Amino acid sequence: MSEEGYALLVVDDNDDNRYTLTQRLKRQGYANVATAQDGREALDLLRARPFDLVLLDIMMPELNGYQVLEQLKADERLRHIPVIMISAVDELDSVIRCIELGAEDYLQKPFNPTLLRARIGACLEKKRLRDQLVEWNRTLEQRVEEKVAEVDRLGRLKRFFSPQLAELIVAGGADDPLRTHRREVTVVFLDLRGFTAFAETAEPEEVMGVLRDYHAAMGQLILEHEGTLERFTGDGMMIFFNDPVPVPNPAERAIRMAVAMRDRVKELSVAWRKRGHELALGVGIAQGYATIGAIGFEGRWDYGAIGTVTNLAARLCGEAKGGQILVSSRVAGAAEELVDAEEVGTLALKGFLKPVPTFNVAGLKGNTSSAV
């Protein structure tokens, strides 16, 4: 900043001294120079408008320079304004007292113009650097607050979405997903056939061990296929695709995940069977519109989808035998180039007035290992 940009305040009870110092400062390029003839007027001016530097006399009536300096440094809003004491008092004790009270410098009258200019320039440069540091700190604090809020939001979103998807939302690559909205989605329901009987007869620790392995395997596949986990209760899970970020071919993505899950559960069931547990995966998939958003109350929010499509997927899952992936005709049609699907026929499902045409996914085309 040039000299013209700084605001200076000259405080002196002597008219000639004020005039001489003011004119000297203006010749040095400081165009914005205000004056005060005593300490009270100086404090009033300092509280009313911003200044970058104060040139303060010591010997004044009512409030002397020491008292002005004390009040100035006690005021949180004013304490960072640098002060140069200019006085005829040349005692060392006076100099020490001013420095201890917070003055930046001390010049004796009559002052040397060159020394005055150098001292003022040094004080203003220190203030500029201090102000810059304060602004940097303020900006840093703001960025830290924003980052903390971002991390907190990311943590909450990761409860519902894959890490990649959560980071995309936080980065602004998707609309706020927790706000209620309507979208066409592909919904996947799955649970373990035989789990109820198993849970009733097995020890709790054994049930928890099976669920731990099952959840870890299914969770990994949900993340790999970038599905949105709506909920899981025991062995049951609901996942949907195409929200909060639209994805191409959500039905195909859902089926690929379901087939991979079926294969993974078949692998897990080998160990389960050795311990006498007969468990197999049943899956239901449907596609349609749902109303989606945050459901719950302050302190406990879940991300939920409501609509006929979720009911249909749940009913199809309930009808699926171990190893079956039952899909609606809409899903089968959307993924017909991907899957080998067998027509099951129409199923009378609870909550639906008409029988629902249903297909079973035998496997992916060209992938015989996925067939049941």
H/E element, 108: strand 105-108
Q: Do both 13 and 105 map to the same domain?
A: yes
Q: Is residue 266, in this structure, part of any structural domain at all? A: yes
In whole angstroms, what is the distance from residue 117 CA to residue 332 CA?
85
Q: Is residue 161, in this structure, part of any structural domain at all? A: no
Q: Do both 213 and 114 map to the same domain?
A: no
pLDDT tens digit at each of 372 positions of the chain: 566 678 999 999 999 989 989 998 998 888 899 999 999 999 999 999 999 999 999 988 888 989 999 999 899 889 889 999 888 877 788 888 888 888 888 888 887 888 888 888 888 888 888 888 888 888 888 887 777 777 776 676 666 555 655 666 666 655 566 678 899 999 999 999 999 999 999 999 999 999 999 999 999 999 899 888 887 888 999 999 998 878 889 999 999 999 999 999 999 999 999 988 999 999 999 999 999 887 777 666 677 788 999 999 999 999 999 999 999 999 999 999 999 999 999 999 999 999 999 999 999 987 644 443
Q: Token digits for 275?
A: 């311990």
Q: Is residue 150, in this structure, part of any structural domain at all? A: no
Please name the amino acid found at residue 156: R
Residue 19 belongs to domain with CATH number: 3.40.50.2300
Phi, psi (deg, nearest 5) at residue 30? -90, 95
Q: Do both 34 and 181 map to the same domain?
A: no
Q: Is residue 158, in this structure, part of any structural domain at all? A: no
Q: Do both 194 and 106 map to the same domain?
A: no
DSSP-assigned letters across all residues of 151-188: HHHHHHHHTTS-HHHHHHHHTTSS--TTS-EEEEEEEE
Q: Do both 108 and 234 map to the same domain?
A: no
Which domain covers residue 113, as residue numbers? 3-136
Q: Please give the pLDDT value at position 371.
A: 41
Q: Do both 122 and 214 map to the same domain?
A: no
Q: Please give the pLDDT value at position 89.
A: 76
Q: Please give the pLDDT value at position 93.
A: 85
266: which residues sit within 8 A by CB, 6+ positions away? Answer: 280, 281, 323
Q: Do both 96 and 234 map to the same domain?
A: no
Pairing mode, strands 181-193 and 53-56: unpaired
Q: Do both 47 and 103 map to the same domain?
A: yes
Q: Please give the pLDDT value at position 370.
A: 45
Residue 350 belongs to domain with CATH number: 3.30.70.1230
Q: Do both 120 and 210 map to the same domain?
A: no
Q: Is residue 141, in this structure, part of any structural domain at all? A: no
Q: Is residue 148, in this structure, part of any structural domain at all? A: no
DSSP 22: H
Q: Please give the pLDDT value at position 110.
A: 81
Q: Do both 349 and 276 map to the same domain?
A: yes
Pick from 224, 250, 234, 154: nearest CA to 192: 234
Using a 10 angstrom Cβ sphere, with 0-12 exposed, 13-18 middle and 19 or more buried, the burial of residue 328 is buried
- Which of 81, 113, 136 is at the close of a domain? 136
How many structural domains are present in the chain?
Answer: 2
Q: Do both 27 and 124 map to the same domain?
A: yes
Q: Please give the pLDDT value at position 186.
A: 96
In whole angstroms, what is the distance from residue 369 CA to residue 372 CA?
8
304, β-bridge pairs? 293
pTM: 0.58
Residue 77 to residues 42, 50, 142, 319: CA-CA distances in angstroms?
A: 15, 10, 20, 72
Pick from 232, 229, 250, 230: nearest CA to 241: 250
Q: Is residue 18, in this structure, part of any structural domain at all? A: yes
Q: Do both 364 and 216 map to the same domain?
A: yes
Q: Token digits for 245?
A: 């970020």
